[in-house]
Amino acid sequence: MDLDRQRPAQRDHQVQVHHRHALRQKPLERHRGVPGHLPRHRGDRRRPRAQAHPARRPRRLRRQAQRRARRLPRFDDHLRVRVRVSHPERQSGSVPSGDEDFSRRFPRILDEEGRRRKAEKILAVLREHLGDLTALRLLDIGCAGGQITHRLGEQVRQAVGLDVDEHALALARREAAPNVSFVRADGTRLPFGDGEFDLVVCNHVYEHVESAERLLAEIRRVLRPGGVCYFAAANRLMPIEAHYRLPLLSWLPKPLADRYVRLAGRGTAYPERHLSYFGLRRLVRGFAITDYTGRILEDPERFASEDMLPAGSLIRRLAPVLYRAAPWISPSYVWLLTKQG
């Protein structure tokens, strides 16, 4: 039928029908140079096949996409850097970092009897090395519930306990003597002046801080020349990890250690950063080292350590010999670090 001879309204209607039919037959003519996966006509709201919802993809394709995504850089890396830069108080030490709920995760750190026994071991070593302690000013880094700080405070002129765990510090402050005080701060950013202390106690702390190197640098800074640090440290090659009580946990790379902790039902991750014997020696190379580990193994009664090495036991006889032959396999060390100059 000739469209020119029809009435205008009828002719316009058939023209619209003709155009819609043409669009359905030739969808790509509307999108020259554009791939054919675009919607086939105006109003088609179905999701294109290549853009299917991730949940509807086969499992094999989803896993491939996840592996590719892990290899790509995170899109928000620059944002995380900006957050760190835009919060200078985190760099200044006013906001402590580290394990701020350690005493809740490991309540045994607040055990009164165990901590008092540890305090006697520390005192025995310090008296052997320094003699009279009554004129000294002491800093106890990682004091937890303060049991060790309180006991040491009875022997020194002034004792300051420091920790990031507010729950533990609240317990420590309950019965503090006049010469004992407690501060919430990070061990890698000590809020004290240079040379302010004669003695620092760092008892199994290095593996919990953000940077063990900064921790030792801060200890050196706050010690006076000739000052001493009691440094007790666990070896990465210890057979049983001391906090989680899992065999060989500290030997593993972090991804495997995290998975081990989760599978054992002991937590969600393994944040501790242990060093080997040689790594610890490098860590403290700015100090003069007096190694008390062998002396304690040879005469545990003298250093209040008979609970670890019972008289007549096989470990009591073998431990000193093994340490002399291969100190790098010892599960832990007790060193006195003297600041020179």
Closest-CA residue to 242 (of 217, 220, 274): 274
As a whole number of angstroms, the distance between CA 152 and CA 177 comes to: 11
Phi, psi at residue 295, to the nearest 5°?
-65, -40
Q: Write out the two tokens for 135.
A: 């004129």
- Computed over every residue of the chain, the mean pLDDT equals 80
Model confidence band, residue 337 (pLDDT cutoffs 50, 70, 90): very high
Among 220, 253, 248, 224, smallest CA distance to 235 is for 248
Whether the pLDDT of residue 90 is over 90: the answer is no
What the chain holds in terms of domains, given with CATH numbers, is: 102-238+274-338 (3.40.50.150)
What percent of the chain stands above pLDDT 90?
61
Q: Exposed (0-12), middle (13-18) or buried (19+): which is 333, by Cβ within 10 Å?
A: buried
The per-residue pLDDT for range 310-332, each reduced to its tens digit, is: 888 999 999 999 999 999 999 99
Query: Among residues of the chain, what percentage have pLDDT more than 70?
Result: 69
67 pLDDT band, cuts 50/70/90, is low
d(CA 19, CA 25): 10
The whole-number pLDDT of residue 307 equals: 87
Summarize pLDDT for 16-31 with one digit per residue, the tens.
545 454 445 444 444 4
Closest CA to 122 of 20, 204, 1, 17: 204
Q: Which of 150, 185, 148 is nearest to 165 (CA)?
A: 185
pLDDT of residue 31: 44
Give yes or no for a contact between 257 and 300, defined as CB atoms under 8 angstroms apart: no
Tell me how crowded residue 141 is: count the other CB atoms within 10 A of its CB. Answer: 25
CA distance linking residue 142 with residue 162, whole number of Å: 6
The number of angstroms, rounded, from the C-alpha of 283 to the middle of its chain's C-alpha atoms is 18
Report helix, strand or coil for 277.
Answer: helix
Of the pLDDT bands very low, low, confident and very high (cuts 50, 70, 90), residue 71 is: low
What would the pLDDT profile of 238-259 be if each residue is shown by its tens digit? 999 988 999 999 999 999 999 9
Centroid of chain to Cα 84: 17
pLDDT of residue 29: 42
What average pLDDT does range 141-158 have in this prediction? 96
